[in-house]
Amino acid sequence: MKNIIPFIIVLFASCGSTKTLNYSVKDPVLLNTLNCPENGICSLELIPNKAIEFKTDEFGNLYPTISEGEKTILKYTYKKNPLPNTEDSNYTELIYAELDSIITETTLTDNDLQNVKLHFGRLCYCKGETGYYPIKNGEFKILKSAKNTMQISLEFKITEVPQIISKINEIISLK
């Protein structure tokens, strides 16, 4: 019996996991990101109580529609600085994901990326090289990094159009 008591104490002490991540976003979160190309501005948004669907227009192009729902939308935006005195030089890349309302640790790769409707958008005056595309090649992770913080990382490749952003690595503090 004396030998079993230390075992039970160790067993109960080891039951508490430090890797649990259980965030519920109540209000929209907008962050300017740290890891952005020098020639632009990046932001990351978590938008609660929404859902995203990608519809197809009459030309076969995808476009996002965001509506009221029970999920949290992750939206990453890269806006390249426009060229001075140049019309139509606006350039934006967007990444969307639909997360559960309670965000948990996640690791998805390749075709499983569509479990969170992960899409890349390229918006510019780039004839034939603009639109939204499902991300099917890469790795997406949400991990607990410290108390009340989570790390979002994504590394991916799109074959349909050129891309500037291919990696995201951000830490978000939620309270």
Mean pLDDT of the chain: 84
pTM above 0.85, yes or no: no
Q: What is the mean pLDDT of residues 97-126?
A: 95
Determine phi and psi for 136, rounding to 5 degrees. Answer: -120, 0
Is residue 166 pLDDT above 60, yes or no? yes
**Residue 145: per-residue pLDDT:** 78
pLDDT tens digits for 15-24? 433 344 566 6
Q: What pLDDT was estimated at residue 26?
A: 65
Burial of 66 (0-12, 13-18, 19+ CB in 10 A): middle
Cβ 65 vs Cβ 82: under 8 Å: no
DSSP string, 6-27: HHHHHHHHT-S-S----EE--S
Evaluate if residue 155 carries a pLDDT over 80: yes
Closest CA to 55 of 67, 46, 68: 67
For residues 5 and 122, which has the higher predicted lDDT (pLDDT)? Answer: 122
Amino acid 167: pLDDT: 95
> What CA–CA distances, in Å, run from 46 to 20, 29, 53, 85?
19, 5, 16, 34
Among 31, 148, 51, residue whose Cα is nearest residue 97: 51
Q: Is the pLDDT of residue 82 over 80?
A: yes
171 vs 118, more confident: 118
Share of the chain above pLDDT 70, in %: 83
